[in-house]
Amino acid sequence: MIIDAHQHVFWHGKNDADLVADLNEQGIDKAWLLTWEIPPNEDTRPYHHVFNPERLRPDGSHPGLSLADALRAYRNYPDRFVLGYCPDPNIEDAVKWFATAVEMHGVRICGEWKYRMLVNDPRNLELFREAGELHCPVVLHFDAPYLKEVQNGPRKYFPLWYGGEMEHLARTLEACPETTFLGHGPGFWREISGLADDDPGVYPAGPVKPGGRLISLLETYPNLYVDLSAGSGIKALKRDAQQAREFLIRFADRILFARDFYGGDLMEFLSSLSLPEEVRENIFSANALKLVPV
């Protein structure tokens, strides 16, 4: 079995039937179908072209990837999708909204959490603890709040940030030990290298140096998992194929195959690494099934 542990629907010009066709083409059995709910004050116009125009707000902003669209796809293809949902933690009773979605609609994952606030904000911690009590893993997206414009230059504010820095993730992991978290995104995967602070790229391409904060977090917190989705995951692995293989083998019990897009690039790259069969099984399905049995 192959499970894609990070997927969305009605975006990038594709509907639910298109997504299922892509799953079939890639030999993927199931996908975690996640939301990304965007509050009006965090409207992300650079993403508008990939969203569902049916959901455009009258003021020209866009709510992102809604629970309504995820439910629409899930109801059409209940055997192919596992439903995820993450309400905006800023709204009143966000914790209750999530619990109701679990009870009413069978939500199994809290995700995608992608908000322009520190991940260890008390409003988030309350939501994450509820997810833990309901045995729902939490999928977190990070984009760094500060990046250098040039090598050896000062770090400057990056307006499209989400979650904060790895110190904020560490505090979250400590505060919610009963909750399982999956990290992903450019701000997360750049931390595989010990020189993350010195690299000006959103997607660093240089050699992976020892001392990466991502490695330290995995060593310290057993409730942290990673998903390999989007360009950030595969680009981090491709920085050094040998180190990528060692990383995947070392943390094989906490890494999930995930795409956040379409096509077979990630699967092709993983196959090129000649991973042990047990490692492949863990990454492609066993770890996902451990967190969300289906």
Q: How confident is the model at residue 134 (pLDDT cuts 50, 70, 90)?
A: very high
Residue 257's pLDDT is what? 98
d(CA 94, CA 87): 6
Residue 208's pLDDT is what? 92
Residue 178's pLDDT is what? 98
Residue 155's pLDDT is what? 87
Token pair 């993403």 is found at 47
Residue 170's pLDDT is what? 98
Residue 76 tokens read as: 């059409």
Which region among 123-132, 204-213, 278-287 has the lowest average model confidence (pLDDT)?
A: 204-213
**Beta carbons of 47 and 163 less than 8 angstroms apart:** no
The set of residues, in sequence order, having a beta carbon less than 8 Å from that of 172 and lying 6+ positions away, is 119, 120, 124, 125, 128, 181
Residue 265 has pLDDT above 90, yes or no: yes
Of residues 202 and 228, which shows the higher confidence score?
A: 228
**Beta carbons of 140 and 163 less than 8 angstroms apart:** yes
CATH code: domain of residue 95: 3.20.20.140
Query: How much of the chain exceeds pLDDT 70, in percent?
Result: 100
**What are the tens digits of pLDDT across the range 80-131?**
999 999 999 999 999 999 999 999 999 999 999 999 999 999 999 999 999 9
Residue 152 has pLDDT above 80, yes or no: no
Q: Please, what's the b/e burial string for 159-180 (b: 16 or more CB within 10 A of its CB; e: otherwise)?
A: eebbbbbbebbbebbeebeebb
Residue 148's pLDDT is what? 87
- Helix then strand then coil, in percent of the chain rounded to 5, is 45, 15, 40
Task: State the total domains in the chain.
Answer: 1
Mean pLDDT on 32-59: 95
Residue 149's pLDDT is what? 81
Parallel/antiparallel/unpaired status of strands 36-37 and 64-65: antiparallel
Residue 229 has pLDDT above 90, yes or no: yes
Average pLDDT, rounded, for the chain: 96
**Beta carbons of 222 and 197 less than 8 angstroms apart:** no
Q: How confident is the model at residue 79 (pLDDT cuts 50, 70, 90)?
A: very high
Token pair 């399982």 is found at 180
Residue 161 has pLDDT above 90, yes or no: yes
Residue-number span of the structural domain to which 181 is assigned: 3-291
Nearest-10 crossing angle of helices 213-220, 166-175: 10
In order of 52, 119, 159, 194, 213, the CA distances from 148 in angstroms are 33, 22, 13, 15, 18
Residue 66's pLDDT is what? 97
Residue 8 has pLDDT above 80, yes or no: yes
Residue 272's pLDDT is what? 97
In order of 51, 96, 98, 122, the CA distances from 42 in angstroms are 15, 22, 20, 19
**Beta carbons of 31 and 83 less than 8 angstroms apart:** no
